[in-house]
Structure 1
Amino acid sequence: MKHKLWKGHVMNRTVLITGASRGIGRATALAFAKEGYNVLINYRTHEQDAQELRDGLRALGASAEMVYADVSKREDVDEMFAYARELFFRVDVLVNNAGVAQQKLFSDITESDWDRMFDINIKGMFHCAQAALSQMVSEKRGKIINVSSIWGIAGASCEVHYSASKAAVIGFTKALAKEVGPSGIQVNCVAPGVVETQMNAALDTDTKEELREETPLGCIGEPDDIAQAILFLAEERSKFITGQVLSPNGGIVI
Protein backbone atom coordinates (compact mmCIF):
# COMPACT_ATOMS: atom_id res chain seq x y z
CA MET A 1 0.00 0.00 0.00
CA LYS A 2 1.63 3.23 -1.15
CA HIS A 3 0.33 6.73 -0.59
CA LYS A 4 1.48 10.20 -1.41
CA LEU A 5 1.64 12.07 1.87
CA TRP A 6 -0.41 15.24 2.15
CA LYS A 7 0.86 17.37 5.02
CA GLY A 8 -1.99 19.11 6.78
CA HIS A 9 -2.61 20.65 10.18
CA VAL A 10 -0.80 17.98 12.14
CA MET A 11 -1.31 19.67 15.51
CA ASN A 12 -5.07 19.22 15.33
CA ARG A 13 -6.70 16.14 16.82
CA THR A 14 -6.92 13.21 14.43
CA VAL A 15 -9.85 10.88 13.82
CA LEU A 16 -9.66 7.64 11.87
CA ILE A 17 -13.04 6.46 10.60
CA THR A 18 -13.38 2.98 9.13
CA GLY A 19 -15.85 2.47 6.32
CA ALA A 20 -15.94 6.23 5.82
CA SER A 21 -16.58 6.54 2.10
CA ARG A 22 -20.39 6.48 2.26
CA GLY A 23 -23.41 6.71 4.56
CA ILE A 24 -22.84 7.20 8.28
CA GLY A 25 -19.06 7.09 7.85
CA ARG A 26 -19.11 9.88 5.29
CA ALA A 27 -21.38 12.05 7.43
CA THR A 28 -19.10 11.42 10.40
CA ALA A 29 -16.03 12.49 8.43
CA LEU A 30 -17.80 15.73 7.47
CA ALA A 31 -18.86 16.41 11.06
CA PHE A 32 -15.33 15.95 12.42
CA ALA A 33 -13.77 17.99 9.62
CA LYS A 34 -16.06 20.91 10.41
CA GLU A 35 -14.77 20.79 14.01
CA GLY A 36 -11.16 21.08 12.87
CA TYR A 37 -10.04 17.46 13.12
CA ASN A 38 -7.53 15.81 10.82
CA VAL A 39 -9.58 13.10 9.12
CA LEU A 40 -8.41 9.69 7.92
CA ILE A 41 -10.98 8.18 5.56
CA ASN A 42 -10.71 4.39 5.49
CA TYR A 43 -12.26 2.57 2.55
CA ARG A 44 -12.17 -0.92 1.07
CA THR A 45 -14.38 -1.08 -2.03
CA HIS A 46 -15.56 2.48 -2.79
CA GLU A 47 -12.34 4.23 -3.77
CA GLN A 48 -13.98 6.90 -5.92
CA ASP A 49 -16.42 7.83 -3.15
CA ALA A 50 -13.51 8.08 -0.70
CA GLN A 51 -11.55 10.28 -3.09
CA GLU A 52 -14.51 12.60 -3.64
CA LEU A 53 -15.02 12.87 0.12
CA ARG A 54 -11.34 13.60 0.73
CA ASP A 55 -11.32 16.30 -1.93
CA GLY A 56 -14.52 17.78 -0.53
CA LEU A 57 -13.08 17.96 2.99
CA ARG A 58 -9.93 19.62 1.68
CA ALA A 59 -12.08 22.15 -0.17
CA LEU A 60 -13.59 23.02 3.23
CA GLY A 61 -10.07 23.69 4.54
CA ALA A 62 -9.78 20.42 6.47
CA SER A 63 -6.71 18.22 6.62
CA ALA A 64 -7.91 14.92 5.15
CA GLU A 65 -6.49 11.79 3.57
CA MET A 66 -7.86 8.48 2.38
CA VAL A 67 -6.39 5.10 3.22
CA TYR A 68 -7.24 1.65 1.90
CA ALA A 69 -7.53 -1.24 4.32
CA ASP A 70 -9.59 -4.39 4.66
CA VAL A 71 -10.18 -4.19 8.42
CA SER A 72 -10.68 -7.95 8.65
CA LYS A 73 -6.97 -8.35 7.82
CA ARG A 74 -4.47 -7.52 10.56
CA GLU A 75 -1.67 -6.62 8.14
CA ASP A 76 -3.88 -4.05 6.41
CA VAL A 77 -4.88 -2.51 9.71
CA ASP A 78 -1.31 -2.33 11.01
CA GLU A 79 -0.21 -0.62 7.81
CA MET A 80 -3.14 1.80 7.97
CA PHE A 81 -2.26 2.89 11.50
CA ALA A 82 1.42 3.20 10.66
CA TYR A 83 0.46 5.49 7.81
CA ALA A 84 -1.87 7.51 10.06
CA ARG A 85 0.95 8.09 12.54
CA GLU A 86 3.44 8.95 9.81
CA LEU A 87 1.00 11.54 8.51
CA PHE A 88 -0.52 12.98 11.71
CA PHE A 89 1.68 11.51 14.51
CA ARG A 90 -1.22 9.92 16.42
CA VAL A 91 -4.83 8.78 16.24
CA ASP A 92 -6.79 10.54 18.97
CA VAL A 93 -10.21 9.14 18.04
CA LEU A 94 -11.03 5.81 16.40
CA VAL A 95 -14.52 5.34 14.96
CA ASN A 96 -15.16 1.68 14.19
CA ASN A 97 -17.89 2.16 11.60
CA ALA A 98 -17.02 -0.41 8.89
CA GLY A 99 -19.69 -3.05 8.64
CA VAL A 100 -21.83 -5.21 6.40
CA ALA A 101 -25.45 -6.31 6.61
CA GLN A 102 -27.51 -9.06 5.03
CA GLN A 103 -31.15 -10.11 5.19
CA LYS A 104 -31.59 -13.88 5.09
CA LEU A 105 -33.65 -16.58 6.77
CA PHE A 106 -31.62 -18.19 9.52
CA SER A 107 -31.98 -21.59 7.85
CA ASP A 108 -30.42 -20.16 4.67
CA ILE A 109 -27.39 -18.51 6.29
CA THR A 110 -24.22 -20.24 5.14
CA GLU A 111 -21.03 -20.62 7.12
CA SER A 112 -19.35 -18.16 4.76
CA ASP A 113 -22.19 -15.65 5.34
CA TRP A 114 -21.68 -15.99 9.08
CA ASP A 115 -17.89 -15.74 8.89
CA ARG A 116 -17.97 -12.66 6.62
CA MET A 117 -20.38 -10.89 8.97
CA PHE A 118 -18.19 -11.47 12.02
CA ASP A 119 -14.90 -10.94 10.18
CA ILE A 120 -15.86 -7.38 9.23
CA ASN A 121 -18.26 -6.34 12.01
CA ILE A 122 -16.30 -7.82 14.92
CA LYS A 123 -12.83 -8.95 13.91
CA GLY A 124 -12.29 -5.65 12.08
CA MET A 125 -13.18 -3.73 15.23
CA PHE A 126 -10.86 -5.97 17.27
CA HIS A 127 -7.94 -5.33 14.90
CA CYS A 128 -8.47 -1.56 14.81
CA ALA A 129 -8.96 -1.17 18.56
CA GLN A 130 -5.77 -3.10 19.31
CA ALA A 131 -3.83 -1.01 16.80
CA ALA A 132 -5.17 2.23 18.24
CA LEU A 133 -4.60 1.23 21.86
CA SER A 134 -0.91 0.49 21.30
CA GLN A 135 -0.39 4.26 21.36
CA MET A 136 -3.40 5.41 23.39
CA VAL A 137 -2.43 3.38 26.45
CA SER A 138 1.12 4.75 26.53
CA GLU A 139 -0.20 8.31 26.18
CA LYS A 140 -3.06 7.69 28.65
CA ARG A 141 -5.66 9.30 26.43
CA GLY A 142 -7.90 8.47 23.50
CA LYS A 143 -11.45 7.73 22.43
CA ILE A 144 -12.85 4.66 20.71
CA ILE A 145 -16.39 4.79 19.39
CA ASN A 146 -17.94 1.61 18.00
CA VAL A 147 -20.99 1.56 15.73
CA SER A 148 -23.56 -1.09 16.58
CA SER A 149 -27.28 -1.08 15.67
CA ILE A 150 -30.69 -1.17 17.33
CA TRP A 151 -30.81 -4.76 16.12
CA GLY A 152 -27.85 -5.49 18.37
CA ILE A 153 -30.13 -4.42 21.22
CA ALA A 154 -33.50 -5.81 20.12
CA GLY A 155 -32.68 -8.39 17.42
CA ALA A 156 -34.14 -8.47 13.90
CA SER A 157 -35.96 -11.29 12.15
CA CYS A 158 -34.10 -12.55 9.07
CA GLU A 159 -30.92 -10.85 10.32
CA VAL A 160 -29.73 -13.25 13.01
CA HIS A 161 -26.06 -13.11 12.04
CA TYR A 162 -26.15 -9.31 11.69
CA SER A 163 -27.97 -8.88 15.01
CA ALA A 164 -25.56 -11.24 16.76
CA SER A 165 -22.53 -9.38 15.41
CA LYS A 166 -23.95 -6.01 16.48
CA ALA A 167 -24.78 -7.37 19.93
CA ALA A 168 -21.15 -8.47 20.16
CA VAL A 169 -20.10 -4.87 19.44
CA ILE A 170 -21.98 -3.78 22.55
CA GLY A 171 -20.41 -6.47 24.75
CA PHE A 172 -16.97 -5.63 23.37
CA THR A 173 -17.52 -1.93 24.14
CA LYS A 174 -18.56 -2.48 27.75
CA ALA A 175 -15.73 -4.89 28.54
CA LEU A 176 -13.00 -2.83 26.87
CA ALA A 177 -14.22 0.35 28.59
CA LYS A 178 -13.64 -1.30 31.97
CA GLU A 179 -10.20 -2.52 30.96
CA VAL A 180 -8.77 0.70 29.52
CA GLY A 181 -10.61 3.25 31.65
CA PRO A 182 -7.76 3.37 34.19
CA SER A 183 -5.51 4.42 31.29
CA GLY A 184 -7.70 7.46 30.60
CA ILE A 185 -9.31 5.98 27.49
CA GLN A 186 -13.04 6.11 26.83
CA VAL A 187 -14.83 3.42 24.83
CA ASN A 188 -18.44 3.97 23.84
CA CYS A 189 -20.97 2.69 21.36
CA VAL A 190 -23.55 4.26 19.05
CA ALA A 191 -26.47 2.02 18.05
CA PRO A 192 -28.35 3.72 15.20
CA GLY A 193 -31.95 3.10 14.31
CA VAL A 194 -33.17 2.98 10.71
CA VAL A 195 -31.18 5.50 8.68
CA GLU A 196 -31.35 6.60 5.04
CA THR A 197 -28.13 5.03 3.75
CA GLN A 198 -27.03 2.83 0.86
CA MET A 199 -27.12 -0.14 3.26
CA ASN A 200 -30.89 0.34 3.64
CA ALA A 201 -31.50 1.20 -0.01
CA ALA A 202 -32.92 -2.28 -0.62
CA LEU A 203 -35.87 -1.58 1.67
CA ASP A 204 -39.03 -1.06 -0.39
CA THR A 205 -41.36 1.91 0.05
CA ASP A 206 -43.94 -0.06 2.06
CA THR A 207 -41.30 -1.33 4.50
CA LYS A 208 -39.93 2.17 5.01
CA GLU A 209 -43.42 3.50 5.62
CA GLU A 210 -44.08 0.80 8.21
CA LEU A 211 -40.83 1.68 9.97
CA ARG A 212 -41.82 5.36 10.01
CA GLU A 213 -45.17 4.48 11.55
CA GLU A 214 -43.48 2.32 14.21
CA THR A 215 -41.11 5.15 15.14
CA PRO A 216 -42.53 7.52 17.79
CA LEU A 217 -40.90 10.53 16.13
CA GLY A 218 -42.49 9.51 12.83
CA CYS A 219 -39.37 9.66 10.68
CA ILE A 220 -36.34 7.73 9.47
CA GLY A 221 -32.95 9.04 10.54
CA GLU A 222 -30.36 10.83 8.42
CA PRO A 223 -26.66 9.94 8.48
CA ASP A 224 -25.81 13.25 10.16
CA ASP A 225 -28.09 12.36 13.09
CA ILE A 226 -25.73 9.50 13.85
CA ALA A 227 -22.60 11.49 13.04
CA GLN A 228 -23.52 14.10 15.64
CA ALA A 229 -23.90 11.41 18.31
CA ILE A 230 -20.47 10.03 17.42
CA LEU A 231 -18.96 13.52 17.51
CA PHE A 232 -20.48 14.15 20.95
CA LEU A 233 -18.78 11.02 22.33
CA ALA A 234 -15.46 12.18 20.89
CA GLU A 235 -15.55 15.63 22.46
CA GLU A 236 -14.48 16.91 25.87
CA ARG A 237 -18.11 17.42 26.90
CA SER A 238 -18.48 13.63 27.15
CA LYS A 239 -15.41 13.16 29.37
CA PHE A 240 -17.36 11.31 32.12
CA ILE A 241 -19.02 8.82 29.75
CA THR A 242 -17.59 5.38 29.01
CA GLY A 243 -18.93 1.90 28.35
CA GLN A 244 -22.28 3.31 27.27
CA VAL A 245 -24.63 2.71 24.34
CA LEU A 246 -26.13 5.85 22.79
CA SER A 247 -28.96 4.89 20.46
CA PRO A 248 -30.29 7.64 18.17
CA ASN A 249 -33.32 5.81 16.79
CA GLY A 250 -36.36 8.07 16.93
CA GLY A 251 -37.79 6.02 19.79
CA ILE A 252 -38.36 2.80 17.83
CA VAL A 253 -36.32 0.98 20.51
CA ILE A 254 -36.53 2.36 24.04
Structure 2
Amino acid sequence: MEPLAGRAALVTGAGVGIGEEIARELARQGARVAIHYAGSSAGAHAAMAEITAAGGEAVALRGDLRHVADCERIVAEATDTFDGLDILVNNAGVTRAGTIEETSEALYDEMFDLNVKGYFFCARAALPALERSGQGSIINITSIHGGGGFPNHAAYAGTKGAVIGFTRSLAIELALRHVRVNAIGPGVIEVPRYFAVPGYTTQFGDTLVPWGRVGRPRDIAPAVAFLAGDGAEFITGQTLYVDGGTNARMGLWWETPSE
Protein backbone atom coordinates (compact mmCIF):
# COMPACT_ATOMS: atom_id res chain seq x y z
CA MET A 1 0.00 0.00 0.00
CA GLU A 2 1.22 3.52 -0.75
CA PRO A 3 2.38 5.16 2.53
CA LEU A 4 0.32 8.33 2.06
CA ALA A 5 -2.73 6.80 0.38
CA GLY A 6 -5.93 8.68 1.12
CA ARG A 7 -4.22 11.76 2.49
CA ALA A 8 -4.52 15.25 1.08
CA ALA A 9 -1.58 17.63 0.89
CA LEU A 10 -1.01 21.27 0.05
CA VAL A 11 2.49 22.19 -1.11
CA THR A 12 3.19 25.90 -1.46
CA GLY A 13 5.68 27.20 -3.99
CA ALA A 14 5.38 23.96 -5.94
CA GLY A 15 5.71 25.26 -9.48
CA VAL A 16 9.47 24.88 -9.60
CA GLY A 17 12.48 23.36 -7.86
CA ILE A 18 12.16 21.77 -4.44
CA GLY A 19 8.42 22.37 -4.11
CA GLU A 20 7.64 20.82 -7.47
CA GLU A 21 9.60 17.69 -6.61
CA ILE A 22 7.91 17.49 -3.18
CA ALA A 23 4.50 17.57 -4.86
CA ARG A 24 5.51 14.78 -7.23
CA GLU A 25 6.94 12.65 -4.42
CA LEU A 26 3.88 12.99 -2.19
CA ALA A 27 1.73 11.95 -5.14
CA ARG A 28 3.99 8.97 -5.86
CA GLN A 29 3.40 7.89 -2.27
CA GLY A 30 -0.37 8.09 -2.71
CA ALA A 31 -1.33 11.57 -1.56
CA ARG A 32 -3.75 13.85 -3.36
CA VAL A 33 -1.85 17.07 -3.92
CA ALA A 34 -2.75 20.74 -4.24
CA ILE A 35 0.11 22.44 -6.07
CA HIS A 36 0.36 26.12 -5.18
CA TYR A 37 2.30 28.50 -7.39
CA ALA A 38 2.72 32.23 -7.77
CA GLY A 39 4.52 32.79 -11.06
CA SER A 40 5.58 29.31 -12.20
CA SER A 41 2.37 28.28 -13.93
CA ALA A 42 4.05 26.00 -16.49
CA GLY A 43 5.84 23.93 -13.85
CA ALA A 44 2.78 23.65 -11.62
CA HIS A 45 0.54 22.51 -14.46
CA ALA A 46 3.19 20.11 -15.78
CA ALA A 47 3.41 18.49 -12.34
CA MET A 48 -0.38 18.32 -12.13
CA ALA A 49 -0.57 16.69 -15.58
CA GLU A 50 2.10 14.14 -14.68
CA ILE A 51 0.35 13.22 -11.44
CA THR A 52 -3.07 12.83 -13.03
CA ALA A 53 -1.64 10.87 -15.97
CA ALA A 54 -0.22 8.41 -13.46
CA GLY A 55 -3.67 7.96 -11.90
CA GLY A 56 -3.27 10.40 -9.03
CA GLU A 57 -5.27 13.45 -8.02
CA ALA A 58 -3.85 16.96 -8.23
CA VAL A 59 -4.95 20.55 -8.63
CA ALA A 60 -2.93 23.71 -9.34
CA LEU A 61 -3.77 26.83 -7.32
CA ARG A 62 -2.35 30.31 -7.88
CA GLY A 63 -1.90 32.89 -5.15
CA ASP A 64 0.39 35.48 -3.57
CA LEU A 65 1.14 34.20 -0.08
CA ARG A 66 2.52 37.52 1.07
CA HIS A 67 -1.13 38.38 1.65
CA VAL A 68 -3.19 36.75 4.39
CA ALA A 69 -6.31 36.67 2.22
CA ASP A 70 -4.52 34.55 -0.37
CA CYS A 71 -3.16 32.21 2.31
CA GLU A 72 -6.69 31.64 3.54
CA ARG A 73 -8.11 31.26 0.03
CA ILE A 74 -5.49 28.75 -1.14
CA VAL A 75 -5.93 26.61 1.98
CA ALA A 76 -9.72 26.75 1.62
CA GLU A 77 -9.58 25.75 -2.06
CA ALA A 78 -7.26 22.83 -1.33
CA THR A 79 -9.42 21.67 1.58
CA ASP A 80 -12.63 21.96 -0.44
CA THR A 81 -11.12 20.13 -3.42
CA PHE A 82 -10.12 17.11 -1.37
CA ASP A 83 -12.76 17.37 1.38
CA GLY A 84 -10.06 17.74 4.00
CA LEU A 85 -6.36 18.35 4.50
CA ASP A 86 -3.77 16.15 6.21
CA ILE A 87 -0.43 17.65 5.16
CA LEU A 88 0.75 21.24 4.74
CA VAL A 89 4.19 21.83 3.26
CA ASN A 90 5.21 25.47 3.65
CA ASN A 91 7.81 25.84 0.92
CA ALA A 92 7.06 29.07 -0.96
CA GLY A 93 9.91 31.50 -0.44
CA VAL A 94 12.31 33.96 -1.95
CA THR A 95 16.06 34.52 -1.66
CA ARG A 96 17.59 37.94 -2.13
CA ALA A 97 21.33 38.05 -1.46
CA GLY A 98 22.98 41.36 -0.64
CA THR A 99 24.94 43.22 1.99
CA ILE A 100 23.04 44.90 4.79
CA GLU A 101 23.57 48.24 3.02
CA GLU A 102 22.14 46.85 -0.21
CA THR A 103 19.04 45.40 1.45
CA SER A 104 16.24 47.91 1.05
CA GLU A 105 13.07 47.96 3.10
CA ALA A 106 11.21 46.57 0.08
CA LEU A 107 13.58 43.59 -0.25
CA TYR A 108 13.46 42.97 3.50
CA ASP A 109 9.67 43.05 3.52
CA GLU A 110 9.43 40.78 0.48
CA MET A 111 11.49 38.08 2.18
CA PHE A 112 9.83 38.28 5.58
CA ASP A 113 6.33 38.54 4.13
CA LEU A 114 6.72 35.38 2.05
CA ASN A 115 9.25 33.32 4.03
CA VAL A 116 7.74 33.91 7.48
CA LYS A 117 4.35 35.61 7.33
CA GLY A 118 3.14 33.28 4.56
CA TYR A 119 4.14 30.20 6.56
CA PHE A 120 2.44 31.49 9.69
CA PHE A 121 -0.87 32.33 8.08
CA CYS A 122 -1.02 29.22 5.88
CA ALA A 123 -0.54 27.15 9.04
CA ARG A 124 -3.20 29.13 10.87
CA ALA A 125 -5.67 28.71 8.01
CA ALA A 126 -4.95 24.99 7.68
CA LEU A 127 -5.16 24.17 11.38
CA PRO A 128 -8.89 23.34 11.61
CA ALA A 129 -8.65 20.80 8.78
CA LEU A 130 -5.36 19.37 10.05
CA GLU A 131 -6.83 18.92 13.51
CA ARG A 132 -9.91 17.19 12.11
CA SER A 133 -7.61 14.86 10.20
CA GLY A 134 -6.25 13.29 13.38
CA GLN A 135 -2.91 12.81 11.60
CA GLY A 136 -2.13 16.37 10.58
CA SER A 137 1.42 17.31 9.71
CA ILE A 138 2.98 20.69 8.95
CA ILE A 139 6.42 20.66 7.33
CA ASN A 140 8.22 23.98 7.03
CA ILE A 141 11.11 24.35 4.61
CA THR A 142 13.89 26.33 6.27
CA SER A 143 17.59 26.33 5.27
CA ILE A 144 21.10 25.79 6.54
CA HIS A 145 21.16 29.60 6.61
CA GLY A 146 18.74 29.43 9.54
CA GLY A 147 21.42 27.99 11.79
CA GLY A 148 24.71 29.25 10.39
CA GLY A 149 26.15 32.52 9.22
CA PHE A 150 27.00 33.38 5.62
CA PRO A 151 27.91 36.78 4.17
CA ASN A 152 25.36 38.81 2.22
CA HIS A 153 22.43 36.77 3.56
CA ALA A 154 21.55 38.55 6.82
CA ALA A 155 17.91 39.22 5.96
CA TYR A 156 17.35 35.84 4.31
CA ALA A 157 19.01 34.02 7.23
CA GLY A 158 16.78 35.98 9.58
CA THR A 159 13.71 34.59 7.85
CA LYS A 160 14.98 31.03 7.97
CA GLY A 161 16.00 31.26 11.61
CA ALA A 162 12.51 32.55 12.31
CA VAL A 163 11.05 29.46 10.62
CA ILE A 164 13.01 27.20 12.97
CA GLY A 165 11.74 29.05 16.04
CA PHE A 166 8.20 29.08 14.65
CA THR A 167 8.40 25.32 14.05
CA ARG A 168 9.50 24.53 17.59
CA SER A 169 6.96 26.73 19.32
CA LEU A 170 4.03 25.70 17.13
CA ALA A 171 4.91 22.03 17.63
CA ILE A 172 4.52 22.42 21.39
CA GLU A 173 1.35 24.46 21.02
CA LEU A 174 -0.28 21.82 18.81
CA ALA A 175 1.10 18.63 20.37
CA LEU A 176 -2.01 17.77 22.39
CA ARG A 177 -4.12 18.58 19.34
CA HIS A 178 -2.24 15.85 17.43
CA VAL A 179 -0.84 18.09 14.71
CA ARG A 180 2.88 17.56 14.22
CA VAL A 181 5.14 20.41 13.12
CA ASN A 182 8.64 19.85 11.77
CA ALA A 183 11.10 21.55 9.46
CA ILE A 184 13.48 20.49 6.71
CA GLY A 185 16.76 22.38 6.31
CA PRO A 186 18.07 21.96 2.76
CA GLY A 187 21.73 22.60 2.10
CA VAL A 188 23.21 23.51 -1.26
CA ILE A 189 20.43 22.31 -3.54
CA GLU A 190 20.89 22.90 -7.26
CA VAL A 191 17.78 24.64 -8.57
CA PRO A 192 17.37 26.60 -11.83
CA ARG A 193 18.18 29.99 -10.28
CA TYR A 194 21.70 28.79 -9.38
CA PHE A 195 22.66 28.89 -13.04
CA ALA A 196 21.93 32.62 -13.14
CA VAL A 197 24.76 33.18 -10.64
CA PRO A 198 27.90 34.26 -12.53
CA GLY A 199 30.48 31.49 -12.55
CA TYR A 200 28.25 28.79 -11.05
CA THR A 201 28.68 25.26 -12.37
CA THR A 202 27.61 21.90 -10.99
CA GLN A 203 31.28 21.02 -10.54
CA PHE A 204 31.73 24.08 -8.34
CA GLY A 205 28.61 23.19 -6.34
CA ASP A 206 30.03 19.73 -5.73
CA THR A 207 33.06 21.24 -3.98
CA LEU A 208 30.85 22.98 -1.40
CA VAL A 209 29.37 19.82 0.11
CA PRO A 210 31.20 17.31 2.35
CA TRP A 211 29.34 14.45 0.64
CA GLY A 212 31.08 15.42 -2.58
CA ARG A 213 28.12 16.44 -4.69
CA VAL A 214 25.61 19.23 -4.78
CA GLY A 215 22.10 18.37 -3.62
CA ARG A 216 19.07 18.22 -5.85
CA PRO A 217 15.34 18.61 -5.20
CA ARG A 218 14.92 14.83 -5.31
CA ASP A 219 17.09 14.65 -2.16
CA ILE A 220 14.64 16.80 -0.20
CA ALA A 221 11.32 15.31 -1.29
CA PRO A 222 11.63 11.85 0.36
CA ALA A 223 12.51 13.47 3.68
CA VAL A 224 9.35 15.57 3.49
CA ALA A 225 7.29 12.47 2.67
CA PHE A 226 8.81 10.68 5.67
CA LEU A 227 7.89 13.49 8.06
CA ALA A 228 4.37 13.52 6.62
CA GLY A 229 3.82 9.81 7.19
CA ASP A 230 3.14 7.38 10.01
CA GLY A 231 6.82 6.53 10.46
CA ALA A 232 7.31 10.00 11.94
CA GLU A 233 4.30 9.83 14.28
CA PHE A 234 6.42 10.55 17.37
CA ILE A 235 8.54 13.27 15.76
CA THR A 236 7.56 16.90 16.26
CA GLY A 237 9.37 20.19 16.77
CA GLN A 238 12.46 19.02 14.91
CA THR A 239 14.56 20.41 12.07
CA LEU A 240 16.00 17.74 9.80
CA TYR A 241 18.97 18.97 7.79
CA VAL A 242 19.23 17.38 4.36
CA ASP A 243 22.52 18.82 3.24
CA GLY A 244 25.21 16.20 2.64
CA GLY A 245 26.88 17.09 5.94
CA THR A 246 27.17 20.84 5.34
CA ASN A 247 25.50 21.87 8.61
CA ALA A 248 27.72 19.50 10.61
CA ARG A 249 30.98 20.87 9.22
CA MET A 250 33.01 23.56 10.98
CA GLY A 251 32.93 26.94 9.32
CA LEU A 252 36.71 26.79 8.99
CA TRP A 253 37.43 24.47 6.08
CA TRP A 254 40.48 23.71 4.04
CA GLU A 255 41.95 20.95 1.93
CA THR A 256 44.67 18.90 3.63
CA PRO A 257 47.85 19.36 1.58
CA SER A 258 49.11 16.20 -0.05
CA GLU A 259 52.61 15.11 0.88
TM-score (norm 1): 0.91
Aligned residue in 2 for 1:230 = 224
Q: Alignment partner for residue 78 of structure 2, among 84, 108, 120?
A: 84
CA distance in 1, matches of 2:202, 2:104: 27
Q: Alignment partner for residue 132 of structure 1, among 119, 126, 130?
A: 126
Aligned residue in 2 for 1:191 = 185
CA distance in 1, matches of 2:196, 2:99: 16
CA distance in 2, matches of 1:28, 1:137: 22
Please say if residues 188 and 209 of structure 2, whose CA atoms lie closer than 8 Å, have aligned partners that are also in contact: no
CA distance in 2, matches of 1:139, 1:206: 44
Query: Is 1:212 paired with 2:206?
Result: yes
Please say if residues 18 and 217 of structure 2, whose CA atoms lie closer than 8 Å, have aligned partners that are also in contact: yes
Q: Which is further off, 51-60 or 175-184?
A: 51-60
Q: How do 1:98-137 and structure 2 match up within 5 A?
A: 98-137=92-131
CA distance in 2, matches of 1:209, 1:48: 28
Aligned residue in 2 for 1:30 = 24
Secondary structure at 2:26's aligned position in 1? helix
Q: How do 1:38-57 and structure 2 match up within 5 A?
A: 38-57=32-51
Q: What is the CA deviation profile of residues 185-222 of structure 1, one whole-angstrom value per residue up to 9, with x for unaligned ones? A: 10000000001112323334457545422422110001
CA distance in 2, matches of 1:159, 1:208: 21
Please say if residues 14 and 44 of structure 2, whose CA atoms lie closer than 8 Å, have aligned partners that are also in contact: yes
Aligned residue in 2 for 1:16 = 10
Query: Is 1:172 paired with 2:166?
Result: yes
Query: Is 1:160 paired with 2:154?
Result: yes
Runs of 5+ unmatched residues, structure 1: 1-10
Deviation for aligned residue 1:136: 2.3
CA distance in 2, matches of 1:199, 1:237: 33
Aligned residue in 1 for 2:253 = none
TM-score (norm 2): 0.90
Deviation for aligned residue 1:232: 0.7
Secondary structure at 2:196's aligned position in 1? coil
Q: Alignment partner for residue 250 of structure 1, among 220, 240, 244?
A: 244
Secondary structure at 1:109's aligned position in 2? coil
Q: Alignment partner for residue 141 of structure 2, among 147, 155, 179?
A: 147
Deviation for aligned residue 1:85: 2.1
CA distance in 1, matches of 2:59, 2:130: 21
Deviation for aligned residue 1:91: 1.0
Please say if residues 87 and 130 of structure 2, whose CA atoms lie closer than 8 Å, have aligned partners that are also in contact: no
Runs of 5+ unmatched residues, structure 2: 249-259
Percent identity of the aligned residues? Answer: 37
Please say if residues 96 and 128 of structure 1, whose CA atoms lie closer than 8 Å, have aligned partners that are also in contact: yes
Q: Work out the number of aligned pairs and report it.
A: 244
CA RMSD of the aligned region, Å? 1.5
